[in-house]
């Protein structure tokens, strides 16, 4: 007698991620993201006494000889920082009771949430890549002597990849938890960064003139190939 044992081959997946998994993913990725920013800030502070370390000798990109500032710098920094703070306030509200953040913009399904996780991972990759390439990174929107124009790496696709990474971070979070409050924050964050980009591009044009004007013609501002 031959015994035939059948095993179920079908693998079942949940319709969507449990709330506890969504919270864990968002908190983990955002923690890593801000850890990258803190680490970059520490590295930059340690190199302040070595201005030559901010210049990449392997490229022929121009280096600023004078400072370039604008009175619009502080408002630009405030607006972008405010949108970050708003997100984490909304996150705390959502953590207590998701319904307090408004209705679901669409039903969160596992494929959409998986896409959101991929977008979050891409945000980390873009952030690391941009920090690795951009030695002259600084928090405040102004240019100091020794600031070098960067057009390689992620900067060959978009003029502000560090801010593009923020768009990915918050949009990916929205895809995982598609509440109205998070969507409004994504829109506000984009508008705030667009304003900051415009402010920075003015002083970059002052510092690098034709080199930056030429760079602007072949790249997008905030979203690769789109805007």
185 within 8 A of 86, measured Cβ to Cβ: yes
56 within some domain: no
Confidence band, pLDDT 50/70/90 cuts, at residue 4: low
pLDDT digit string (tens) for 94-135? 999 999 999 999 999 999 999 999 999 999 999 999 999 887
Would you say residue 41 lies in a domain? no
CA–CA distance, 220 with 226 (Å, rounded to integer) = 7
Instruction: Supply the range of the domain harboring residue 113.
Output: 64-137+149-227
Domains in the chain, number: 1
d(CA 118, CA 28): 14
- 40 inside domain: no
Flag whether 142 is in a domain: no
Here the tokens at position 136 are 């002259």
The pLDDT tens digits for 200-215 are 999 999 888 899 999 9
Q: What digits encode the pLDDT tens for the residues 159-194?
A: 999 999 999 999 999 999 999 999 999 999 999 999
Contact (CB, 8 A) for 26 and 91: yes
Q: Is 219 within the bounds of a domain?
A: yes
Tokens at 51, concatenated: 């201005």
Asked whether residue 29 is domain-assigned, the answer is no
Cite the beta strand spans of 179-219 per DSSP E: none
- 8 Å CB contact between 222 and 186: no
Residue with tokens 């949108």: 83
Q: What is the CATH number of the domain that holds 112?
A: 1.20.120.1630
């Amino acid at each position: 007698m031959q015994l035939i044992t059948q095993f179920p081959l079908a693998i079942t997946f949940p319709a969507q991620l449990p709330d506890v998994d969504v919270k864990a993913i968002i908190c983990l990725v955002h923690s890593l993201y801000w850890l990258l920013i803190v680490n970059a800030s520490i590295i930059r502070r340690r190199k302040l006494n070595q201005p030559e370390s901010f210049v990449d000798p392997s490229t022929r990109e121009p280096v600023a000889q004078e400072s370039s500032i604008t009175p619009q710098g502080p408002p630009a920094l405030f607006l972008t920082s405010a949108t970050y703070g708003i997100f984490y306030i909304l996150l705390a509200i959502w953590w207590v009771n998701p319904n307090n953040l408004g209705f679901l913009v669409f039903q969160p399904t596992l494929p959409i949430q998986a896409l959101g996780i991929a977008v979050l991972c891409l945000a980390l990759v873009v952030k690391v890549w941009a920090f690795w390439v951009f030695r002259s990174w600084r928090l405040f929107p102004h240019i100091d002597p020794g600031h070098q124009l960067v057009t390689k790496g992620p900067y060959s696709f978009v003029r502000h990849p560090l801010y593009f990474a923020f768009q990915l971070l918050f949009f990916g979070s929205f895809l995982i938890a598609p509440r109205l409050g998070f969507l409004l924050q994504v829109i506000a964050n984009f508008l705030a960064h667009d304003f900051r980009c415009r402010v920075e591009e003015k002083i970059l044009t002052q510092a690098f003139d034709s080199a930056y004007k030429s760079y602007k013609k072949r790249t997008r501002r905030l979203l690769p190939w789109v805007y």
